[in-house]
Chain A
Amino acid sequence: MEFFFQILINGLSLGFLYALAALGFVMIFKSSSVLNFAHGELMAIGAFLFLVLSTWANLPIWLAFLITLAGSFSLGFIIERFFLRPLIGEALIEVIMLTVGLAIMFKGLMLFVFGGDIHSYPEFLPQALTLHWGAVEVPGVNVATFIVGLIFLGLFGFFFKYSSQGIYMRSVADNQPAAMALGVHVRRVFAISWAIAALVCAMSGIVIGIINGINVHEVSAIGLKVFPVVILGGLDSIGGAIIGGLIIGLLETFTGGYISTGLREVVPYIVLIMILMVKPYGLFGLVEIERV
């Protein structure tokens, strides 16, 4: 039973990690319908930026954190301006390949600068965050992740529901020409959503870095795991991303714990295929109906 609970806790924390990673992905998809294959690399960039600022430059943690957020915000802006804007209106495959190209480029650059080793942050979380519950122990990082995740979830909920910028984003996602006709600055919406998404990526990258250490290959593999998560939850649903992340995380750890560790890496994709066959738009995704 203890084993079961430990796996449960591990699964939930892994799931929360996926959910956090999926948030940024959903942000981009929701406003500009771009499938971002460079997601894992964006997370890694954020994590490395934080690493450089906090350990190499020896800035205080909060300052390093803020500068990282600002840096990735502008990185998202730059990516949108220079790479994706020329492609507005082009075929889907070209946009996808562009993000793949970005992913390869960023990965090469990061391997060049930081190498393929695992880097880790200094300990900075307070010990008090660690929870004990009988024999089961929840590490402080996971608690911190959970809290940060909840805060962000709340913030995004409010942002999309009540702020004017969030409403613009939803309108662009819903119907681009109509939004344009009503005076929404579509290009600015794209730019801002990429910037915010990069910011969220950096956040989740930092969290992953705290839990597992940062390794370029591992973080970009997590970027690919985002796909089953968002498909399960629905590509354009933030709540779906959270629930999808939790389900996939639990599924992975339980398969790893009870069936075989080799199967663990593939299970999300098998589930993905099954979901796509049965419920193509995911649990909470917007169903597009087309009829001839």
Chain B
Amino acid sequence: MRKLQFHPCGNFNETYERELTIFETDFGRLSMLIGLFLLFAVIPFITNEYILYIINIIGIYAIAAIGLNLLIGYTGQISLGHGAFFGVGAYAAAILATKASCPFLIAVPAAGLITALVGMIFGLPSARLKHLYLCIATLAGQFIIEYVLVQWESLTEGAEGISIPTATIFGIDLGNDRVFFYVIFICFAVMTWMAVNLIRTRYGRAFIAIRDNDQAAEGMGIPIFPYKLLSFAISSFYAGFAGALFAYYMISITPEPFNLWLSIEYIAMIIIGGLGSIPGSVFGTIFIVTLSEILSHITEYLMNISPSMSGAITIAPLREFVFGLAIILFIIFEPKGLAEVWRIVRSSFRLWPFSY
């Protein structure tokens, strides 16, 4: 039997492999197993339909948010078009399912690959641009994709949208929220595992080098442009995959939800969660989805108590106000996001009673 590992009281890594480990101690491994057990065996059975719906949405958004964090947080390329890529994935899956009658298991990864291709096309400007200019180029990408989704009616049915037949895997009907929960969260676990490991590989290290200083990275022999494109492709793959799940989960889709607002929400998720942190993207997604649900409940509640309709209409925008305020407060007071809060809380427990 091997010895249990505990946290050392400093950084004593002697080999490179040691520094790259995912779990520093065996407790990390244990808590992950407990977490997976809770996620798959407990949560679906103790929640009601509504909470389960929220959790499913969080799972789908979290996959896309992890993808965006790979692009912004690890490669340092700002993209304002992630919502549109999410939409491309959703539409690709819907079109494959209806027009080509692809089964679920092929349509979802294929939608991811198609979106990766589209993402690479919109990543092309990153050959010459960076920072602000790239950010504006992806903003343009967002508008162009939105336009195409609405106008290419022969393929996307325009503003009317597409309805998707319920999917089946191995004869199991996926129309049920509880069944779909397993589909989403198995995908989520696999995608997270891939992302965490990607960062440890040669490619992930190259991404981080490009983020930290692209000129130095090029000087050290990293071909910047192919790596940036790869990062765009991976990030859009995540978005497209999540979008495809979203399309199957929602059953019918319209171009409406995939607007600039969604892209902004994604960036808000990873900023509030923590840039350059995979758990952070998940925390951020939970925060944003829960916040917007709570806010819409509050507005609904206020609508019901206010006597006239005119009062109700004026209360609704307060939701946007609170949302914007939350983003601003996080950026000013905790720029490293919830991941940092989580780290501080954890280490103060670990170091108790000598925490500082």
Contacts and interface: CB of A to CB of B under 8 A. Distances in A.
Interface of A: 33, 35, 83, 86-87, 90-94, 96-98, 100-113, 115, 224, 227-228, 231, 235, 262-263, 265-266, 269-270, 272-273, 276-277, 280, 290, 292
B142 to A, nearest CB: 8
A93 B144 CA distance: 22
A102 B132 contact: no
A83 B318 CA distance: 20
A105 B319 CA distance: 9
Nearest to A272: B140
Given A101-B324, A266-B147, A276-B137, A93 B332 contact: no
B328 A101 contact: yes
A203 B191 CA distance: 50
30 contacts: A90-B335, A92-B131, A93-B78, A94-B271, A97-B271, A98-B332, A100-B264, A100-B268, A101-B331, A102-B324, A104-B264, A104-B321, A104-B323, A104-B327, A105-B321, A111-B316, A111-B320, A231-B133, A262-B151, A263-B147, A265-B143, A266-B143, A273-B137, A273-B140, A276-B137, A276-B140, A277-B124, A277-B128, A280-B128, A290-B215
Q: Most chain-A CB neighbours within 10 Å: which of B264, B319, B332?
A: B332
A265 B271 CA distance: 30
Contact of B313 (A104, A115, A227, A276): A115
B267 A97 contact: yes
Contacts of B129: 276, 280
Interface string B121-156: 000110011011101110111011001001100000
A111 B317 contact: yes
B26 interface: no
B256 interface: no
Contacts of A107: 317, 320, 324
A33 B267 CA distance: 20
B335 to A, nearest CB: 6
B13 to A, nearest CB: 27
Interface in B223-273: 260, 264, 267-268, 271
Nearest to A95: B331
B218 interface: yes
B324 A270 contact: no
Contact of B125 (A228, A270, A277, A290): A277
Provide the main secondary structure of the chain B interface. Answer: helix
Given A93-B72, A273-B144, A276-B125, A231 B136 contact: yes
B22 interface: no
Given A108-B319, A108-B320, A115-B314, 19 more contacts: A83-B328, A92-B135, A93-B72, A96-B78, A97-B327, A100-B268, A103-B324, A104-B323, A105-B320, A105-B321, A112-B317, A112-B321, A235-B133, A266-B143, A272-B137, A273-B140, A276-B136, A280-B129, A280-B133
Contacts of B125: 273, 276-277
Contacts of A270: 140, 144
A35 B78 CA distance: 13
Interface of B: 72, 78, 124-125, 128-129, 131-133, 135-137, 139-141, 143-144, 147, 150-151, 215, 218-219, 260, 264, 267-268, 271, 275, 313-328, 331-332, 335
Nearest to A107: B320
A18 B327 CA distance: 29
A183 B141 CA distance: 42
A97 B317 CA distance: 20
Contacts of A276: 125, 128-129, 133, 136-137, 140
B327 A101 contact: yes
B350 to A, nearest CB: 29
B303 to A, nearest CB: 14
B143 A269 contact: yes
B200 to A, nearest CB: 23
Contacts of B275: 91, 93
A264 to B, nearest CB: 10
A115 B316 CA distance: 10
A273 B143 CA distance: 11
B268 A97 contact: yes
Contacts of A83: 328, 332
Contact of A101 (B72, B313, B325): B325
A93 B321 contact: no
Contacts of B150: 262
Contacts of B323: 104, 108
Contacts of B317: 107-112
Q: Most chain-B CB neighbours within 10 Å: which of A33, A93, A96, A276?
A: A93
